[in-house]
Amino acid sequence: MLFISLIALIVSTEKITICGDTHGQYYDLLNIFKLNGLPSETNPYLFNGDFVDRGSFSVEVILTLFSFKLLYPDNFHLLRGNHETDNMNQMYGFEGEVKAKYTAQMFQLFSEVFQWLPLAQCINNKVLVMHGGLFSEDGVTLEDLRKIDRNRQPPDSGPMCDLLWSDPQPQNGRSISKRGVSCQFGPDVTERFLEQNKLDYVVRSHEVKADGYEVTHSGKCITVFSAPNYCDQMGNKGAYIHLRGSDLKPEFHQFTAVPHPNVKPMAYANTLMQLGMM
């Protein structure tokens, strides 16, 4: 199985909707479908990782997304985020939530499926989508990404790690990541990668943004984040992006948080992480 799959937008009027992190915010996910229409063969979606953890309705989110993937396997796309991993799920709530609502065996099944999620998606050979970002070293090609063995927990370094964990920075070059893993990459890094791989721009998620999205690196690096009022405390908007087959120029759509049942974020998280949220 290839790590990079191709979405072919053949008809110029076709569009695909790209959503960023949803992080267990099930009622905000339903609101996306209310605003933008349910997934279908004529209304394709790409969800760019971090479906679970933090929000306390992660089971509902992931089962909904998996159901649409089963219904529309060629028109509904899911990429792996850094939170579709065992160590994150143990700390930030998904493992505890699955065990509370189902069983430990059920969590192992989710873990197995997460390991098979693609790490990146290339749209019309022009736009590369991944959860985190670009790489700690120059010279990485799309063919290199296709060769990654993805059926595993991610390593602490290398291209698989970077796809899940890296972040853009405004200054040229690279720097140590504030996250303690992978790197931060500048506009020159983005430009070289795009030029080498004959791409127009990249779309990534991974970071909360006040407006739900952010355009950086002279329009070549776009962040989209789809969990509004993140963790019930950030006050940010959510956003999703439309890309149309005619020119793939991004169209941004913002939305605000909707009410949810009175279950606080991180309700199922590791005890130490819950204390950190107080």
- Tens of pLDDT along 117-147? 999 999 999 999 999 999 999 999 999 999 9
Which of 23, 77, 83, 260 is the catalytic position? 83
Residue 247 confidence (pLDDT): 87
pLDDT in tens, 141-188: 999 999 999 999 999 999 999 999 999 999 999 999 999 999 999 999
* Closest-CA residue to 33 (of 61, 4, 73, 5): 61
DSSP secondary structure code for residue 230 in this structure: G
Q: Round to whole Å and give the CA distance between 209 and 246.
A: 28
Question: SS3 of 139, please?
Answer: coil
Name the residue with tokens 């933008």: 36
What pLDDT does residue 214 have? 98
Supply the pLDDT for residue 246: 78
DSSP conformational letter for 21: B
Distance in angstroms between the alpha carbons of the first and the last residue of the chain: 43
| Amino acid code (one letter) for 27 | Y
Domains in the chain, start-ordered, CATH in brackets? 4-276 (3.60.21.10)
pLDDT tens-digit readout, 198-220: 999 999 999 999 999 999 999 99
As a whole number of angstroms, the distance between CA 163 and CA 165 comes to 6
Collapse the DSSP code of 98 into the 3-class scheme (helix H, G, I; strand E, B; otherwise coil) and give the result: helix
User: Considering only CA atoms, which of 111, 112, 131, 110 is closest in space to residue 120?
Assistant: 131
Could you tell me the pLDDT band of residue 14, with boundaries at 50, 70 and 90? confident
Output the pTM of the full model: 0.95
Residues 6+ apart with CB under 8 A from 130: 48, 79, 119, 120, 121, 163, 164, 202, 204
Cα–Cα distance for residue pair 131/165, rounded to 1 Å:
8
Question: Residues 6 or more apart from 108 whose CB is under 8 A from it?
Answer: none
List the structure tokens of 61.
């989110």
> 190-202: buried (b, 16+ CB within 10 Å) or exposed (e) per residue?
beebbeebebbbb
CA distance linking residue 94 with residue 26, whole number of Å: 13
- 119: nearest Cα among 154, 183, 62, 164: 164
What rounded mean pLDDT belongs to the chain? 94
Tokens 């989110």 locate to: 61
Q: How confident is the model at residue 245 (pLDDT cuts 50, 70, 90)?
A: confident
Question: Structure tokens of 204?
Answer: 């990534």
- 83 assigned to active site: yes
- Tens digits of per-residue pLDDT, 45-87? 999 999 999 999 999 999 999 999 999 999 999 999 999 999 9
